[in-house]
Protein backbone atom coordinates (compact mmCIF):
# COMPACT_ATOMS: atom_id res chain seq x y z
CA UNK A 1 0.00 0.00 0.00
CA UNK A 2 1.41 3.38 -0.90
CA UNK A 3 1.94 6.28 1.43
CA UNK A 4 -1.31 8.02 2.07
CA UNK A 5 -3.50 5.01 1.51
CA UNK A 6 -5.96 4.20 4.23
CA UNK A 7 -5.07 2.23 7.34
CA UNK A 8 -6.36 2.39 10.87
CA UNK A 9 -2.97 1.70 12.43
CA UNK A 10 0.54 2.16 11.16
CA UNK A 11 4.11 2.10 12.37
CA UNK A 12 6.67 4.35 10.78
CA UNK A 13 9.87 2.72 9.64
CA UNK A 14 12.10 4.72 7.32
CA UNK A 15 12.63 3.05 3.96
CA UNK A 16 10.60 0.05 5.09
CA UNK A 17 7.73 -1.90 3.78
CA UNK A 18 6.10 -3.61 6.72
CA UNK A 19 3.03 -5.62 7.51
CA UNK A 20 1.56 -5.23 10.93
CA UNK A 21 -1.14 -6.92 12.90
CA UNK A 22 -3.03 -4.47 15.05
CA UNK A 23 -6.15 -4.84 17.12
CA UNK A 24 -7.98 -3.26 14.19
CA UNK A 25 -6.79 -4.97 11.05
CA UNK A 26 -3.77 -6.24 9.17
CA UNK A 27 -2.22 -3.52 7.11
CA UNK A 28 0.61 -3.39 4.64
CA UNK A 29 2.28 -0.01 4.77
CA UNK A 30 5.05 1.41 2.68
CA UNK A 31 6.40 4.70 3.94
CA UNK A 32 8.62 6.95 1.94
CA UNK A 33 10.21 8.87 4.77
CA UNK A 34 13.78 9.74 3.85
CA UNK A 35 15.36 11.01 0.69
CA UNK A 36 13.60 11.85 -2.52
CA UNK A 37 11.19 8.99 -3.09
CA UNK A 38 8.40 11.56 -3.38
CA UNK A 39 10.59 14.12 -5.14
CA UNK A 40 10.95 15.89 -1.80
CA UNK A 41 7.25 16.24 -0.97
CA UNK A 42 6.12 14.18 2.06
CA UNK A 43 9.69 13.26 2.88
CA UNK A 44 11.30 13.69 6.28
CA UNK A 45 14.69 15.30 6.38
CA UNK A 46 17.16 16.43 9.05
CA UNK A 47 16.46 20.03 10.06
CA UNK A 48 19.13 22.63 9.52
CA UNK A 49 18.20 25.78 11.49
CA UNK A 50 19.11 29.29 10.30
CA UNK A 51 22.53 30.37 11.63
CA UNK A 52 20.92 33.16 13.68
CA UNK A 53 18.67 30.65 15.50
CA UNK A 54 21.31 28.08 16.45
CA UNK A 55 21.39 29.19 20.09
CA UNK A 56 17.71 28.32 20.60
CA UNK A 57 17.08 25.19 22.58
CA UNK A 58 15.72 22.65 21.86
CA UNK A 59 16.43 22.58 18.12
CA UNK A 60 14.15 20.34 16.05
CA UNK A 61 15.98 17.31 14.70
CA UNK A 62 13.77 16.62 11.67
CA UNK A 63 11.13 18.24 9.52
CA UNK A 64 8.60 16.90 7.04
CA UNK A 65 8.08 18.53 3.68
CA UNK A 66 4.32 19.19 3.58
CA UNK A 67 3.92 22.81 2.50
CA UNK A 68 4.37 24.26 -0.97
CA UNK A 69 7.02 26.83 -0.19
CA UNK A 70 8.32 29.45 -0.74
CA UNK A 71 4.90 31.05 -0.94
CA UNK A 72 4.63 34.05 -3.29
CA UNK A 73 4.99 37.66 -2.18
CA UNK A 74 3.34 40.33 -4.34
CA UNK A 75 2.11 43.92 -4.23
CA UNK A 76 -1.41 44.27 -2.84
CA UNK A 77 -3.16 47.48 -3.82
CA UNK A 78 -6.04 47.65 -1.38
CA UNK A 79 -8.76 50.16 -2.26
CA UNK A 80 -8.54 53.51 -0.42
CA UNK A 81 -5.12 53.04 1.20
CA UNK A 82 -3.09 56.26 1.43
CA UNK A 83 -0.71 56.60 -1.55
CA UNK A 84 2.36 56.77 0.68
CA UNK A 85 1.75 53.30 2.18
CA UNK A 86 3.27 50.40 0.26
CA UNK A 87 1.43 47.15 0.97
CA UNK A 88 2.61 43.67 0.01
CA UNK A 89 1.13 40.26 0.76
CA UNK A 90 2.76 36.88 1.44
CA UNK A 91 0.44 34.14 0.24
CA UNK A 92 0.60 31.51 2.95
CA UNK A 93 -2.96 30.72 1.91
CA UNK A 94 -1.21 29.00 -1.01
CA UNK A 95 0.81 26.51 1.04
CA UNK A 96 -1.36 23.74 -0.36
CA UNK A 97 -4.95 22.89 -1.07
CA UNK A 98 -6.62 20.89 1.70
CA UNK A 99 -3.46 21.58 3.70
CA UNK A 100 -3.55 25.32 3.11
CA UNK A 101 -2.59 28.12 5.48
CA UNK A 102 -0.11 28.67 8.28
CA UNK A 103 -0.92 25.41 10.09
CA UNK A 104 0.87 23.22 7.60
CA UNK A 105 4.17 24.92 8.39
CA UNK A 106 3.75 23.94 12.07
CA UNK A 107 2.73 20.40 11.15
CA UNK A 108 6.01 19.96 9.29
CA UNK A 109 7.76 20.05 12.67
CA UNK A 110 5.07 18.55 14.89
CA UNK A 111 4.45 15.49 12.74
CA UNK A 112 8.18 14.86 12.40
CA UNK A 113 8.29 14.61 16.19
CA UNK A 114 5.17 12.42 16.26
CA UNK A 115 6.76 9.99 13.82
CA UNK A 116 10.10 10.05 15.68
CA UNK A 117 8.21 9.09 18.84
CA UNK A 118 6.58 6.15 17.06
CA UNK A 119 3.04 7.54 17.19
CA UNK A 120 0.34 5.71 15.27
CA UNK A 121 -2.33 8.37 15.64
CA UNK A 122 -2.70 12.09 16.23
CA UNK A 123 -5.02 13.87 18.65
CA UNK A 124 -5.78 17.54 18.37
CA UNK A 125 -8.48 19.99 19.39
CA UNK A 126 -10.14 23.21 18.23
CA UNK A 127 -13.35 24.98 17.28
CA UNK A 128 -15.93 23.33 15.04
CA UNK A 129 -14.45 25.13 11.98
CA UNK A 130 -10.82 24.84 13.09
CA UNK A 131 -8.42 25.22 10.17
CA UNK A 132 -5.74 23.63 12.28
CA UNK A 133 -7.84 20.50 12.86
CA UNK A 134 -8.55 20.21 9.12
CA UNK A 135 -4.90 20.63 8.17
CA UNK A 136 -3.90 18.08 10.81
CA UNK A 137 -6.48 15.56 9.58
CA UNK A 138 -5.19 15.86 6.00
CA UNK A 139 -1.48 15.79 6.90
CA UNK A 140 -2.01 12.81 9.22
CA UNK A 141 -3.78 10.91 6.46
CA UNK A 142 -0.95 11.70 3.99
CA UNK A 143 1.43 10.15 6.50
CA UNK A 144 -0.88 7.23 7.21
CA UNK A 145 -1.59 8.24 10.78
CA UNK A 146 -5.13 8.10 12.14
CA UNK A 147 -6.48 11.40 13.39
CA UNK A 148 -8.77 12.10 16.34
CA UNK A 149 -10.30 15.56 16.55
CA UNK A 150 -12.04 17.07 19.55
CA UNK A 151 -14.22 19.86 18.18
CA UNK A 152 -15.91 22.55 20.25
CA UNK A 153 -19.49 23.41 19.35
CA UNK A 154 -22.56 24.95 20.95
CA UNK A 155 -24.56 22.87 23.43
CA UNK A 156 -27.60 23.00 21.15
CA UNK A 157 -25.71 21.24 18.33
CA UNK A 158 -24.09 18.53 20.45
CA UNK A 159 -26.50 15.76 19.63
CA UNK A 160 -26.80 16.49 15.91
CA UNK A 161 -24.60 15.28 13.11
CA UNK A 162 -22.05 18.13 12.84
CA UNK A 163 -22.66 18.39 9.09
CA UNK A 164 -20.33 18.92 6.16
CA UNK A 165 -19.73 22.65 6.00
CA UNK A 166 -16.23 23.99 5.28
CA UNK A 167 -13.42 22.36 7.24
CA UNK A 168 -15.73 19.62 8.57
CA UNK A 169 -16.32 18.33 5.06
CA UNK A 170 -12.60 17.83 4.46
CA UNK A 171 -11.98 16.33 7.91
CA UNK A 172 -14.73 13.79 7.44
CA UNK A 173 -13.73 13.01 3.85
CA UNK A 174 -10.22 12.07 4.97
CA UNK A 175 -11.67 9.89 7.71
CA UNK A 176 -10.81 11.83 10.87
CA UNK A 177 -12.62 10.65 14.02
CA UNK A 178 -14.64 13.60 15.27
CA UNK A 179 -15.68 13.94 18.93
CA UNK A 180 -17.82 16.92 19.89
CA UNK A 181 -17.60 18.84 23.17
CA UNK A 182 -19.76 21.77 24.19
CA UNK A 183 -18.27 25.24 24.64
CA UNK A 184 -19.22 25.03 28.32
CA UNK A 185 -17.41 21.71 28.87
CA UNK A 186 -14.44 23.02 26.92
CA UNK A 187 -14.05 26.08 29.13
CA UNK A 188 -14.70 24.09 32.34
CA UNK A 189 -12.28 21.24 31.56
CA UNK A 190 -9.74 22.92 29.27
CA UNK A 191 -8.15 21.75 26.05
CA UNK A 192 -5.15 20.09 27.71
CA UNK A 193 -7.26 17.92 30.03
CA UNK A 194 -9.63 17.01 27.20
CA UNK A 195 -6.81 15.82 24.95
CA UNK A 196 -5.27 13.91 27.88
CA UNK A 197 -8.60 12.17 28.47
CA UNK A 198 -8.74 11.02 24.86
CA UNK A 199 -5.07 10.07 24.94
CA UNK A 200 -5.61 7.77 27.97
CA UNK A 201 -8.57 6.13 26.25
CA UNK A 202 -6.60 5.48 23.07
CA UNK A 203 -3.61 4.12 25.01
CA UNK A 204 -5.96 1.68 26.76
CA UNK A 205 -7.09 0.60 23.28
CA UNK A 206 -3.48 -0.18 22.41
CA UNK A 207 -2.77 2.92 20.33
CA UNK A 208 0.22 5.28 20.48
CA UNK A 209 -1.23 8.79 20.26
CA UNK A 210 0.69 12.04 19.79
CA UNK A 211 -1.09 15.15 21.05
CA UNK A 212 -0.90 18.45 19.19
CA UNK A 213 -2.12 21.46 21.21
CA UNK A 214 -4.70 24.03 20.06
CA UNK A 215 -3.61 25.67 16.82
CA UNK A 216 -0.40 23.63 16.73
CA UNK A 217 1.07 26.36 18.92
CA UNK A 218 3.89 25.39 21.25
CA UNK A 219 7.63 25.88 21.23
CA UNK A 220 8.18 23.25 18.54
CA UNK A 221 5.42 24.77 16.39
CA UNK A 222 7.13 28.16 16.78
CA UNK A 223 9.88 26.92 14.43
CA UNK A 224 7.35 27.09 11.59
CA UNK A 225 7.52 30.87 11.40
CA UNK A 226 11.15 31.11 12.46
CA UNK A 227 11.71 29.13 9.28
CA UNK A 228 9.24 31.34 7.37
CA UNK A 229 11.38 34.35 8.34
CA UNK A 230 14.37 32.68 6.71
CA UNK A 231 12.18 32.16 3.63
CA UNK A 232 11.18 35.86 3.56
CA UNK A 233 14.83 36.90 4.01
CA UNK A 234 15.82 34.79 1.00
CA UNK A 235 12.97 36.23 -1.08
CA UNK A 236 13.97 39.77 -0.12
CA UNK A 237 17.57 39.16 -1.12
CA UNK A 238 16.34 38.33 -4.61
CA UNK A 239 14.17 41.47 -4.72
CA UNK A 240 16.78 43.65 -2.95
CA UNK A 241 14.20 45.30 -0.73
CA UNK A 242 13.21 45.51 2.94
CA UNK A 243 9.92 45.58 4.83
CA UNK A 244 9.35 47.99 7.73
CA UNK A 245 6.35 46.12 9.13
CA UNK A 246 4.83 42.65 9.07
CA UNK A 247 1.14 42.21 9.89
CA UNK A 248 -0.49 38.91 10.83
CA UNK A 249 -3.55 37.47 12.62
CA UNK A 250 -3.13 35.85 16.01
CA UNK A 251 -5.30 32.95 17.23
CA UNK A 252 -3.12 30.69 19.35
CA UNK A 253 0.15 32.62 19.33
CA UNK A 254 2.53 30.25 17.52
CA UNK A 255 2.73 32.20 14.27
CA UNK A 256 3.27 35.46 16.15
CA UNK A 257 5.96 33.91 18.37
CA UNK A 258 7.92 32.53 15.40
CA UNK A 259 7.64 35.67 13.28
CA UNK A 260 8.57 38.08 16.04
CA UNK A 261 11.50 36.00 17.28
CA UNK A 262 12.72 35.37 13.73
CA UNK A 263 12.42 39.02 12.76
CA UNK A 264 14.41 40.07 15.84
CA UNK A 265 17.18 37.50 15.44
CA UNK A 266 17.60 37.68 11.65
CA UNK A 267 18.41 40.66 9.45
CA UNK A 268 14.72 41.12 8.69
CA UNK A 269 14.23 43.49 11.66
CA UNK A 270 10.68 44.31 10.61
CA UNK A 271 8.24 45.46 13.28
CA UNK A 272 5.65 42.72 13.88
CA UNK A 273 1.99 43.73 14.34
CA UNK A 274 -0.17 40.87 15.48
CA UNK A 275 -3.96 41.18 15.57
CA UNK A 276 -5.65 38.99 18.19
CA UNK A 277 -8.94 37.51 16.97
CA UNK A 278 -9.80 35.98 20.35
CA UNK A 279 -8.91 36.48 24.03
CA UNK A 280 -7.00 39.78 24.40
CA UNK A 281 -3.53 41.26 23.80
CA UNK A 282 -2.43 40.79 27.41
CA UNK A 283 -3.28 37.08 27.24
CA UNK A 284 -1.28 36.75 24.01
CA UNK A 285 1.80 38.59 25.29
CA UNK A 286 1.98 35.91 28.04
CA UNK A 287 1.12 33.08 25.67
CA UNK A 288 3.81 34.15 23.15
CA UNK A 289 6.23 34.50 26.08
CA UNK A 290 5.59 30.85 27.00
CA UNK A 291 6.47 29.72 23.47
CA UNK A 292 9.63 31.87 23.52
CA UNK A 293 10.67 30.63 26.96
CA UNK A 294 10.22 27.06 25.79
CA UNK A 295 13.04 27.80 23.31
CA UNK A 296 15.18 29.62 25.92
CA UNK A 297 15.06 32.62 23.60
CA UNK A 298 15.83 35.10 26.39
CA UNK A 299 13.62 37.82 24.92
CA UNK A 300 10.53 39.56 26.21
CA UNK A 301 7.45 39.24 24.01
CA UNK A 302 6.50 42.83 24.83
CA UNK A 303 9.76 44.05 23.27
CA UNK A 304 9.47 42.19 19.99
CA UNK A 305 5.82 42.32 18.96
CA UNK A 306 2.94 44.78 18.99
CA UNK A 307 -0.25 42.79 19.74
CA UNK A 308 -3.56 44.52 19.18
CA UNK A 309 -7.20 43.60 19.61
CA UNK A 310 -9.11 42.52 16.48
CA UNK A 311 -11.75 40.34 18.13
CA UNK A 312 -14.73 42.53 17.19
CA UNK A 313 -17.97 40.75 18.09
CA UNK A 314 -16.06 37.67 19.30
CA UNK A 315 -14.12 34.69 17.99
CA UNK A 316 -15.46 33.60 14.59
CA UNK A 317 -18.28 36.16 14.77
CA UNK A 318 -18.25 38.66 11.92
CA UNK A 319 -19.68 42.15 11.73
CA UNK A 320 -21.33 43.27 8.48
CA UNK A 321 -18.46 45.82 8.11
CA UNK A 322 -15.81 43.09 8.30
CA UNK A 323 -17.59 40.99 5.69
CA UNK A 324 -18.17 44.00 3.42
CA UNK A 325 -14.45 44.84 3.48
CA UNK A 326 -13.60 41.21 2.76
CA UNK A 327 -15.92 41.33 -0.27
CA UNK A 328 -14.53 44.69 -1.47
CA UNK A 329 -10.97 43.41 -1.20
CA UNK A 330 -11.81 40.23 -3.09
CA UNK A 331 -13.56 42.25 -5.82
CA UNK A 332 -10.71 44.76 -6.09
CA UNK A 333 -7.67 42.48 -5.84
CA UNK A 334 -8.78 38.86 -6.35
CA UNK A 335 -7.38 37.93 -2.94
CA UNK A 336 -9.98 36.16 -0.79
CA UNK A 337 -9.46 36.52 2.94
CA UNK A 338 -10.95 34.29 5.59
CA UNK A 339 -13.54 35.83 7.93
CA UNK A 340 -12.12 34.50 11.23
CA UNK A 341 -8.41 35.44 11.04
CA UNK A 342 -6.96 37.37 8.09
CA UNK A 343 -10.25 39.18 7.42
CA UNK A 344 -10.32 40.56 10.97
CA UNK A 345 -6.61 41.39 10.97
CA UNK A 346 -6.90 43.33 7.69
CA UNK A 347 -10.03 45.10 8.94
CA UNK A 348 -8.12 46.40 11.99
CA UNK A 349 -4.98 47.18 9.99
CA UNK A 350 -6.94 49.27 7.48
CA UNK A 351 -8.77 51.00 10.35
CA UNK A 352 -5.46 51.81 12.03
CA UNK A 353 -3.88 53.10 8.81
CA UNK A 354 -6.95 55.26 8.14
CA UNK A 355 -7.15 56.63 11.68
CA UNK A 356 -3.39 57.09 12.18
CA UNK A 357 -1.94 57.89 8.74
CA UNK A 358 1.21 59.44 10.25
CA UNK A 359 2.15 56.18 11.93
CA UNK A 360 2.15 54.28 8.61
CA UNK A 361 3.44 57.02 6.29
CA UNK A 362 6.08 55.74 3.79
CA UNK A 363 6.06 52.28 5.44
CA UNK A 364 6.58 49.12 3.41
CA UNK A 365 4.18 46.60 4.96
CA UNK A 366 4.01 42.84 4.41
CA UNK A 367 0.69 41.25 5.31
CA UNK A 368 0.84 37.49 5.86
CA UNK A 369 -2.29 35.79 4.57
CA UNK A 370 -2.49 32.72 6.80
CA UNK A 371 -5.24 30.92 4.87
CA UNK A 372 -8.46 29.57 6.35
CA UNK A 373 -10.56 29.96 3.23
CA UNK A 374 -12.80 27.00 4.07
CA UNK A 375 -14.12 29.03 7.03
CA UNK A 376 -15.86 31.28 4.50
CA UNK A 377 -18.42 28.56 3.73
CA UNK A 378 -19.67 28.91 7.28
CA UNK A 379 -20.44 32.59 6.58
CA UNK A 380 -22.14 32.08 3.22
CA UNK A 381 -25.60 32.98 4.49
CA UNK A 382 -24.35 36.10 6.26
CA UNK A 383 -22.44 37.17 3.14
CA UNK A 384 -25.32 36.93 0.68
CA UNK A 385 -26.31 40.55 1.36
CA UNK A 386 -22.84 41.81 0.39
CA UNK A 387 -22.91 40.17 -3.04
CA UNK A 388 -25.67 41.19 -5.39
CA UNK A 389 -23.89 40.59 -8.72
CA UNK A 390 -26.28 38.16 -10.35
CA UNK A 391 -29.35 38.38 -12.53
CA UNK A 392 -31.44 36.25 -14.82
CA UNK A 393 -30.07 36.24 -18.33
CA UNK A 394 -32.07 38.44 -20.58
CA UNK A 395 -33.00 36.43 -23.70
CA UNK A 396 -35.08 38.41 -26.13
CA UNK A 397 -38.26 36.99 -27.68
CA UNK A 398 -36.68 37.19 -31.15
CA UNK A 399 -34.01 34.54 -30.34
CA UNK A 400 -35.06 31.32 -32.18
CA UNK A 401 -36.09 28.55 -29.72
CA UNK A 402 -36.06 25.49 -31.96
CA UNK A 403 -32.36 25.14 -32.79
CA UNK A 404 -30.48 23.14 -30.19
CA UNK A 405 -33.45 21.27 -28.79
CA UNK A 406 -32.36 17.81 -27.73
CA UNK A 407 -28.66 18.75 -27.90
CA UNK A 408 -28.31 19.64 -24.25
CA UNK A 409 -25.78 16.86 -23.54
Q: Which residues in this chain contact ligand PLP in the complex, by CB under 6 A? A: 101-102, 131-132, 215, 217, 249-256, 338, 341-342, 370-372
- Which of 191, 252 has the CB closer to ligand PLP? 252
- CA 254 to CA 260: how far, in whole Å? 10
Angle separating helix axes 320-333 and 342-355, nearest 10 degrees: 90
CB atoms within 10 A of CB 377: 16
Strand partners, 64: 44
Cα separation of the two ends of the chain? 39
Of residues 7, 9, 100, 130, which has the active-site annotation? Answer: 130
135 within 8 A of 101, measured Cβ to Cβ: yes
CB 22 to ligand PLP: min, Å: 32
CB of 293 to ligand PLP, least distance (A): 17
Closest to ligand PLP by CB, 27 or 256: 256
Q: Closer CB to ligand PLP, residue 44 or residue 344? A: 344
CB 354 to ligand PLP: min, Å = 23
Residues 6+ apart with CB under 8 A from 213: 124, 125, 191, 192, 195, 221, 252
Q: Which is nearer to ligand PLP, 98 or 370 (CB)?
A: 370
Are 172 and 374 in contact, with CB atoms under 8 Å apart?
no
The whole-angstrom separation of Cα 298 and Cα 261 is 10
Nearest Cα residue to 335 out of 127, 128, 161, 87: 87
Closer to ligand PLP by CB, 203 or 313: give it.
313
Least Cβ distance, residue 92 to ligand PLP (angstroms): 8
User: Could you tell me the CA-to-CA distances from 59 to 35, 50, 107, 220, 307 in Å, in that order?
Assistant: 21, 11, 16, 8, 26
CB-wise, 102 or 191, nearer to ligand PLP?
A: 102
Question: Distance between CA 324 and CA 354 in Å, rounded?
Answer: 17
Least CB distance to ligand PLP at residue 213 (A): 10
The 10 Å CB-count burial string (b at 16+, else e) for 100-130 is: bbbbbbbbbbbbbbbbeeebbbbbbbbbbbb
Least distance (Å) from ligand PLP to the CB of residue 400? 51
Is residue 130 annotated as a catalytic residue, yes or no?
A: yes
DSSP string, 280-334: -HHHHHHHHHHHHHTTT----HHHHEEEEE--TTSTT---HHHHHHHHHHHHHHS
Q: Which one, 158 or 169, has the nearer CB to ligand PLP? A: 169
Q: Which residues pair with 30 in a beta bridge?
A: 17
Taking the complex as a whole, the smallest distance from the CB of residue 376 to ligand PLP amounts, in Å, to: 11
Q: Which residues are catalytic?
A: 130
Amino acid sequence: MLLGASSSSAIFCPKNSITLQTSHKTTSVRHSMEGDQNFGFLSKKPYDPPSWALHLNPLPSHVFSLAHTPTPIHRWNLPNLPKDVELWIKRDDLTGMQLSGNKVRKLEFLLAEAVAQGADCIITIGGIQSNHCRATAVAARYLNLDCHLILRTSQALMEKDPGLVGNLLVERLVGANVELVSKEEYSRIGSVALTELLKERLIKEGRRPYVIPVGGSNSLGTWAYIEAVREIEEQLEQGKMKFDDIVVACGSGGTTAGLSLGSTLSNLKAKIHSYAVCDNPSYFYDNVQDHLDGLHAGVNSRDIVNIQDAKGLGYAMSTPEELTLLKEIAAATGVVLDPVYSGKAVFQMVKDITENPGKWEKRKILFIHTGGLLGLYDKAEQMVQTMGNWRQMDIGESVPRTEGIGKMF
